[in-house]
Structure 1
Amino acid sequence: MDTPRLTSLAHGGGCGCKLDPEVLRTLLADQPVAGPFERLLVGNETADDAAVWALDDGTCLIATTDFFTPMVDDPHDFGRIAATNAISDVYAMGGKPILALAILGMPVGKIAPEVVAEILKGGASTCAEAGIPIAGGHSIDTPEPIYGLAVIGLCDRARIRRNADAQAGDVAILTKPLGVGIYSAAIKREALDKDGYADFVATTTKLNKVGADLAGDGDVHAITDITGFGLLGHGLELARGADLTFVIESGAIPLLPRAETLAQEGFVTGASHRNWSSFGAHVTLPEGLPDWRRHILTDPQTSGGLLVTCTPARAEAILTRIRSAGFAQAAIVGRFEAGAPGIRVEV
């Protein structure tokens, strides 16, 4: 069977195919709260990365799911990226994964079985790297290729890190460079060279294990991962959860090597536009900021880095710890301060 490019079978790719954030807020607004469950410590009330349930012995169970359509044409890489992205939610809550279930949707008759097998092998290789099994799953026939995981993790109650826990004065650290959505737009148009693709795969397949380690530090207050809503969208979730203003130092943001050039050349995803339309009213930009620079802030990240808030006095030590864990481009990108929940971008 002649298999078409995976990206040609999808209307969007990676976390860029998430629902518009304001549409999602509207949908969830009328849904009943999780209910009076004493052991449900984290539900859907704080836009967190995963649900957390307290077990009898003080240990917490973390549950999450994440899946999407292809942003690359190599099936093994697609599987690896999707699995890394799904597991990240557990690390972002401060936990460690223990098992995963596969979620698979494939357009039967359009993709050869051996291609699907490579997607599954890619996901399994990432799970092996994380030290967990894929213990089962579910598959269906779908118009577009879909792959991801449901992941279960464990965490001590004291190590849970919610989106609502940032404190006034906290420094914000970003662990991975931005630009994944910009690169994916270039991939879809076959405009990214081999070196650029290698950088793309390296960042999107790097497990965010450092989140579980940072959660043991009392000076680390909040952790979330940056995915489809971009730095602005997920930063706004932290600001709203803590009722604070997130001040972003735009010049300090780490970027993938070609992100700036590609953004100026117009490689922007539709999700970047949707993101700005959804929450731009809550963001104050410096006068004269070019559109391409704004798009970097709204760029949807697939398997992006962690946004970590911590006590200012420990910020440099924590940043060093993150870099020592293999996140060489990690950087301090801003701070949280008292004020109306929203974002202010500074040059």
Structure 2
Amino acid sequence: MNILCYPIKERDPLELAQILRGGAEKVAEAGAVLVGGHSVEDSEPKFGLSVTGLVDPNHITSNAGAKPGDVVVLTKPLGTGIIATAAKFTHCPHDVFAYACNQMATLNAGAAAAMRETGIGAGLAIHAATDITGFGLVGHLYQLARASKVGIEIDSSAIPELPSAVEFAKAGYLTRGDKDNRAYLGDLLNVGANVLDERLSLLLDPQTSGGLAICVAELALDTLLEHLKREGVETRAVIGRIIASDSPTLVVV
């Protein structure tokens, strides 16, 4: 169901038509059905979807099953918040912004299919996963670590990034979410002395339609990577490892 706020008297109705068309196309691509919506007149455009559905309980991957020794794989590059902020100040080249928008418009269906093909469920290879959205990579991985009662070691040099994202972060094009996520994690985030602050900002950056962070048994890593490739998932980055810990620890090296 569409949820829409729009200043219909101040903006071009064709723009509104494009927004609604884009949403409808993605709903159809995901195999869902659009059944209507609710709209209100507002000074600032806002659009989203309320989704209701059913899921087979035998095919659910939660964020609570990660095991020490698991490998963490990320399926989209980071930096959408940073890129969007630079674009708001008209300092982002068109091709860079277009590439970021294409990433945001890409569903996680291929990554989800690869997880199913690798093995989801008790005793199988995929132990846990989370999507990466408003809390940034490290925020969502902290929630996974807390739910799974483990620690996570993240290799900052292995993190995939959108073109120019690190440069824009270094120039200060950061969202408010960067500051909020730093405050949220506080001392829970153990950052190595050699990790540059702009790379840490990439890990803290709130994502719009981010990828999946998948925790897979090490022996099944190559199988997952092969299935991701077959499903057309461009980013298949091995970014870290689950470690044993008495508390939900995040270590960035």
1:108/1:141 contact within 8 Å kept: yes
Alignment of 1:29-68 (within 5 A): none
Q: Shift in Å at residue 211 of structure 1? A: 4.3
1:186/1:192 contact within 8 Å kept: yes
Tell me if 1:280 matches 2:186: yes
Q: Distance in 2 between matches of 1:153 and 1:326?
A: 26
Q: Distance in 2 between matches of 1:210 and 1:289?
A: 32
1:211/1:223 contact within 8 Å kept: no
Find the partner of 2:230 among 299, 312, 324.
Answer: 324
Number of corresponding residues: 246
Q: Shift in Å at residue 106 of structure 1? A: 1.6
Q: Distance in 1 between matches of 2:203 and 2:136?
A: 6
Q: Shift in Å at residue 289 of structure 1? A: 2.6
The equivalent residue for 2:63 is 163
Q: Distance in 2 between matches of 1:153 and 1:234?
A: 23
Q: Distance in 1 between matches of 2:112 and 2:224?
A: 13
Q: Shift in Å at residue 342 of structure 1? A: 2.2
Q: Distance in 2 between matches of 1:282 and 1:143?
A: 39
2:111/2:228 contact within 8 Å kept: no
What SS does structure 1 have at the residue aligned with 2:52? strand
Q: Shift in Å at residue 316 of structure 1? A: 1.9
Alignment of 1:1-347 (within 5 A): 101-213=1-113, 214-215=115-116, 217=119, 218-339=124-245, 340-346=247-253
In structure 2, the CA distance between the partners of 1:323 and 1:262, relative to structure 1 (3 Å rule), is farther
Q: State, as a whole percentage, how many aligned pairs show the same letter.
A: 39
Q: Distance in 1 between matches of 2:40 and 2:157?
A: 45
Q: Distance in 2 between matches of 1:151 and 1:284?
A: 36
Give, as a single letter, the amino acid of the residue that structure 2 aligns with 1:290.
L
Give me the TM-score of the superposition, normalised by structure 1: 0.68
Q: Distance in 1 between matches of 2:112 and 2:80?
A: 23
Give, as a single letter, the amino acid of the residue that structure 1 aligns with 2:208.
T
Q: Distance in 2 between matches of 1:281 and 1:231?
A: 16
2:145/2:248 contact within 8 Å kept: yes
Q: Distance in 1 between matches of 2:234 and 2:222?
A: 14
In structure 2, the CA distance between the partners of 1:281 and 1:110, relative to structure 1 (3 Å rule), is farther
2:111/2:233 contact within 8 Å kept: no
Give me the TM-score of the superposition, normalised by structure 2: 0.92
Question: Tell me, which stretches of 5 or more residues in structure 2 are unaligned?
Answer: none
Higher relative CO (CA 8 A, sep ≥ 6), structure 1 or 2? Answer: 2
